[in-house]
Each structure stands twice: as structure tokens, then as C-alpha cells.
Chain A
Amino acid sequence: MATVRIPTPLRSLTGGEESVQASGANVRALIDDLESNHPGIKDRLLDDKGVRRFVNIYVGEEDIRFLDGLDTPLQGNEEISIVPAIAGGL
């Protein structure tokens, strides 16, 4: 199982948890697994073109945009981070 770090605005979907466990052979499958346990989260992360433009998904310290995107393979022990592309501004 991989550990997925959840940003504050999405914790309403994870019962307030900062990180949750999920599994999948690649990032796409991992997000499907997340969706089955935390319904609604997939639409927050993906649109019909893939990862939404303002969402960053990291495997370890690498943005999946610079790996194989949603097809980035997972061994199962990684730390996945969902990070908003912005830091809030203001």
C-alpha cells in the first residue's frame, strides 16, 4: 500500500485524515482505488484530459508530469503527495 498525503482542502473527503493508504499498479489505478474509499476525490483531481491543470501529484519528490503522468508505475511503498499548484497567494 502506498501512502497518499492529502492537502487541507480535500480532507473533507478523507474524514479529516492528512494521509490515507491506497494501492494500484500505477497512479491512475491508485486514484481509482482512492475514489472507491473516498467518493468524489477523483473529480477534484482529474478532468477528461487527465490531471487538472492546477493540481500537482508527486511520487516521492517527483511531479508525475515529469515522469509518465497517470501511467507512472508504482511499487506499492511510495509516498504520493497531492499538492495544490498554488500556495494560496494573498
Chain B
Amino acid sequence: MTPRFVRSRQLGSIVDAVGNTPLLRLRRIASSAPDVEVFAKLEFMNPGGSVKDRPALRMMLDAIESGQLTTDKILIDATSGNTGVAYSMLGAALGYRVHLVMPKNVTKARKDITQAYGTEIIYSDPMEGSDGAIRLVRKIVQENPDKYFYPDQYSNPSNPLAHYLGTGQEILDAVGDRITHFVAGLGTSGTVMGTTRRLHEHTRPIHCVAAEPAEALHGLEGLKHMASSIVPEIYDPNLPDEIMPIATEAGWDMAERVAAEEGLNIGHSGGANIAAAVALAERAQREQGGGCVVTIIPDRGDRYFAPMKWEKRYTW
């Protein structure tokens, strides 16, 4: 265990609080595989509340260094979620203006979080989901290329690099040679790509799995069903050792179970990741009689809200 896991350290900027998240052993939820260790990396402990602080920071720092992001430019990207919160927090801390394009059916809470940091929101068609937001941001940037810095988390190699240098290395620091399996859900695919690349470099083989929503119309916010989506440029389908489909209901039910059984209130993508991790643990128990499975909890459940009565009227 390295000293980097000490969290009482003194920081010079909120930016320095990104990364070095703890790895938590899940015991009750994986009791069906008693000889397999299951760990979850608690990414909600990043200062913006999610795993997205990592790629957002790496993309911004790399762009500042290369001169693509300057204080007279506006950072703009398509995000209805945690990346938007991360850009907004980091933009405020580092002194850069932020505009976000998001589908109009994003919850009010989500809009409020980003606006609290001074971010401006541009709305896209709710029927077209995140792909509609991507199309709109591309159009806006194309019309005014000099006005904006467009990190484009779907195509930016700094996104997976953040996980190669951070997430993957930190997992090895924490569990070392014990890890036999890694699994995470596919969204931009940055977490899976970067972490898998680092883990595949390890001296012992580690089976790396990409979890994916089982259907095109799904409820696992943050995850992408690749066959029916704009496929991210950073996604290499040949990199994961396995693709595992996860049903929305399995992810939602697991999120509820880990709240009740492990004291972790997590988002649905975290529920899907843990459902996949438990499935892998059961397989390892059956076929190898033991093992160590590591997964990611991207964010907390309190970032999501069921449709509320006071939100029943949408205006679009």
C-alpha cells in the first residue's frame, strides 16, 4: 500500500484532489463466490463526484500545454452528465469558460449542478439522446472554430490516457499480482480502453471485460450500446478480452442491492458494473476456484432522480 492513499493530505487546488480513489472490498454482494475477492474503485470520491474528473482534467491539461486551450477560448462539449460537471468544476478552478450541449430531457438537478459553476447550457433534441447532442456541438464548432476549444471526449486520446496513467496504475498499486479480472462499462469507452491497456502490460495476464447495455433502448445512463450508437473514435473493439451484455434491470436491481447490503448508494452504471463483476466472480469460482475481480463505481446514486411529479410537464 503506497502513501498516496492517505486522504488527509493538504492540497493547493481542487484539481489536485482528482484521482487516487480507494478500492473497496465488496463482501456481501459477492458471497455467491466465496473464494473470489471483488473490489470496486470508488470514483465518486473524486471532487466532481465521478470518474469523469479524470479524463476531463487530462484533456484540459494536455490542451493547455499544447496551446489548444487558451483563456480567450470557450471550452464546449456534448455531455449531459458527469463530464459536464467535471469540465464545469475544473473550468471554474483553472479559469476557463465552459459551454455544454445536452438533450433537453436531462434532469433539472443536473442542469443546476453545472450552472452553479457558471457554465452555460445549450439544448439539443431530447428524442435524439446523446448522439443528437454530439451532432449539435459539431455544428456549433464548425460554424465558429476559433471561438471554441472542443475536447471531444469520444475522440480525444487524453481520455483513455487518464485511465492508463491513473485508474489502471492505481489498481495495480492496490491489489498488485492478485488481480485476475477487470470489468467496466462502455460509454465513451475511455475507462475500458485506458485501464485495459495498462492492465494488459502487467506481467501476469488479466482478463479485461467491457460491459455493454444489452439493448439499444436502455436505462443505464452513461453507457452506450455500440451497435446502435455513433461509435467513439477512441473505441477499439478488439482490445477487451470479452464483451458482456448487461440488462438495464440487472444494473438497476444491483444498484439497489449494494445500497442495502454494502452501504453504497451508487448510480446505475455502477450497478451494471457490479452485476458484471459478480457474474465474473461466480464464473471464476466455478472454473478456477478463486480469483480477484476489480470494477469501477463511476458515481453516486444521488446524482440521479426518478421522474418527479413537479417535473411532469416538459416543454419541448
- Chain A residues with CB under 8 Å of chain B are 5-10, 12, 18, 44, 52-56, 58, 61-63, 65-66, 81, 83-90
Q: A9-B216, A56-B307, A66-B309 are in contact. Are A88 and B248 (CB under 8 A)?
A: no
* Main SS class of interface, B: loop
Interface residues on B, range: 35 or more
Give 23 A-B contacts (CB < 8 Å), ordered by A residue.
A5-B127, A7-B217, A9-B129, A10-B217, A44-B215, A53-B219, A53-B252, A54-B218, A55-B217, A56-B307, A58-B314, A63-B307, A83-B126, A84-B129, A84-B217, A84-B218, A87-B102, A87-B126, A87-B129, A88-B80, A88-B221, A89-B223, A90-B52
Nearest CB on A from B237, distance (A): 18
Judging by beta carbons under 8 Å apart, are A90 and B80 in contact? yes
Q: Which of B18-26, B130-138, B142-150 contacts A (4 or more CB under 8 A)?
A: B130-138
Judging by beta carbons under 8 Å apart, are B130 and A89 in contact? yes
- Chain B residues with CB under 8 Å of chain A are 52, 79-83, 102-103, 105-106, 126-133, 153, 187-188, 215-225, 228, 248-249, 252, 269, 307, 309, 312-315
Q: A63-B307, A66-B309 are in contact. Are A8 and B187 (CB under 8 A)?
A: no
Judging by beta carbons under 8 Å apart, are B80 and A10 in contact? no
CB contacts between A and B, total, < 8 Å: 106
CA A90 – CA B51 in complex, angstroms? 10
Judging by beta carbons under 8 Å apart, are B314 and A61 in contact? yes
Chain B: which residue is nearest A5 at the CB level? B127
Q: Which residues of B contact A9 (CB under 8 A)?
A: 129, 215-218, 225, 228
Q: Which residues of B contact A6 (CB under 8 A)?
A: 127
Nearest CB on A from B193, distance (A): 14
